[in-house]
Amino acid sequence: MRFGVFGAGLIVSAGILAVQAVPGKAAGTDEDAEFGVLKVAEGVEETYYTCTACHSERIVAQQGLSRAHWDELMEWMVEEQGMNEIDEPDRTLILDYLSEHYNEDRPNFPRR
Ligand code: HEC
């Protein structure tokens, strides 16, 4: 029997893993965290919940595509990856969101 290790001071200090703020965004970090790295704007909620059913929102955020290309990607996601067809008006809302905030100039590319 090895009761000797009790009280030896093995304290797991999980509390040290503090939640980190989203870089480059000083304010509204609580809200930001709710949608991962996605920019909080109109359509973020629909985008986040639709697109994180299968993978991280980072896969979305790290892409920079034109509207037409996002449209194709959503078709591809339905045809090849088993995503359910997104009903309107959500599909357009998500497409608007993606092409505004994750276009080819990558204005919101995650830095971390
Ligand atoms: C039914 C599951 C599913 C849903 C829902 C889904 N995806 Fe995907 N997505 C996948 C899979 C699986 C892959 C990886 C495909 C591969 O790399 O072979 C992927 C990959 C991607 C990629 C990377 C493509 C590349 O060229 O590497 C992007 C961008 C993406 N998804 C965007 C989205 C967006 C935007 C949405 C929401 C509109 C979404 N996904 C919803 C399954 C899904």
pLDDT at position 31 is 52
Return left, alpha or beta for 105; rule: phi > 0 is left, psi -120 to 50 is alpha, else beta: alpha
CA of 20 relative to ligand 1 center, distance in Å: 26
Q: Domain-by-domain residue ranges, the chain?
A: 3-101
Before 107, cis peptide (omega within 30)? no
The pTM of the full predicted model, rounded to 2 decimals, is 0.78
pLDDT in tens, 39-62: 999 999 999 999 999 999 999 999
Q: Is 82 in the pocket of ligand 1 (CB under 6 A)?
A: yes
Q: By alpha-carbon position, which residue is closest to atom 30 of ligand 1?
A: 60
For the CA of 62, the closest atom of ligand 1 is: 29
Spatial neighbors of 91 by CB under 8 A, at least 6 apart, are 74
The full length of the chain comes to: 112
CATH topology of domain 3-101: Cytochrome Bc1 Complex; Chain D, domain 2 (1.10.760)
Give residue 111's pLDDT. 79
Ligand 1 atom at shortest distance from the alpha carbon of 94: 38
